[in-house]
Structure 1
Amino acid sequence: MNAKNPNKHITELIKSAKQQFHNFSDAETQEVFLTIKEAKTRGLLRKQPPDRCLNQYINAANYLLRTYSTDEFATALTQNIDYLYAYIALVATNSIVTTA
């Protein structure tokens, strides 16, 4: 399988998110990206349970990493906007690889 162009995939995700969640924000997308990028640099992205000392988006990202390739993962992306923001940031930081 070939890796999908992450920028194209991110653009598709954002377009889909705006259709699904009418309150989806480009500014929030950028803020979450910066948070996840910093968390990755500090080693805070792990397949660990929620930690009340961590930001909600870091906890969401860790949940997605923990449930990647499961039905729970897909469900989270369609039901909770926080998980969608975190997923876009994980793709943008190459923490989750998407395939064609």
Structure 2
Amino acid sequence: MKTQSQSKRVAELIESAKQRFGDFSEAKKQEIFLTIKEAKARGLLRKQPPDRCLSEYVNAANHLLRSYATDEFTAALNRNLDYIYVYVALVSTNSITVTA
């Protein structure tokens, strides 16, 4: 039941983002997902400040992890579509949880 609720919220978030920012290619969505998945496997997802040696997606993920459940988190999701897809990748890799 919780998984269905999470999936529904993520789907709503994606649809809202598409309406606001437009859509981007499947290739870019896959690139973001694979980057976050690899970063998790390497232990690079931490609540740390930006690091210029990490990709922009990993830095975005770390920013979301650091600011989760704050107003800054919501503002980050409203920045651009990349942050939405980074968030979706974090949820799909169980790096962050979705609350009902």
Q: Which category describes the TM-score, using the shorter chain as reference length?
A: 0.7 to 0.9
Give, in whole Å, the separation in 2 of the partners of 1:3 and 1:66.
24
The aligned counterpart of 1:3 is 2
| SS across alignment from 1:79 | coil
Q: Which residue of 2 aligns with 1:40?
A: 40
C-alpha distance in structure 1 between counterparts of 2:16 and 2:93, whole Å:
19
Deviation, 1:39, is 0.3
Q: Work out the CA distance in 1 between the residues paired with 2:26 and 2:13.
A: 12
Count how many residue pairs are aligned between Structure 1 and Structure 2.
99
| Identity rate, percent | 65
C-alpha RMSD of matched pairs (Å) = 1.7
For 1:74 and 1:18, locate their aligned partners in 2 and report how far apart those are by CA, in whole Å.
Answer: 16
Most deviating of 18-27 and 40-49? 18-27
Residues in 2 aligned to 1:9 and 1:84: alpha-carbon distance in whole angstroms: 12
After TM superposition, list the pairs within 5 Å mapping 1:69-80 onto structure 2.
69-80=69-80
CA distance in 2, matches of 1:91, 1:58: 14
Q: Which runs of 5+ in 1 are unaligned?
A: none
TM-score by length of structure 1 reads 0.86
What CA distance in whole angstroms lies between the structure 2 residues aligned with 1:25 and 1:9? 22
- Which residue in 2 is equivalent to 1:84? 84
Taking structure 1 as reference, are residues 28 and 9 closer, same or farther at Cα in structure 2, changes over 3 Å only? farther
For residues 7 and 24 of structure 1, the distance between their equivalents in structure 2, rounded to whole angstroms, comes to 20
| Bigger relative contact order, structure 1 or 2 (CA pairs below 8 A, ≥6 apart) | 1
1:21-32 equivalent positions in 2, closer than 5 A = 21-32=21-32
**TM-score, scaled relative to structure 2:** 0.86
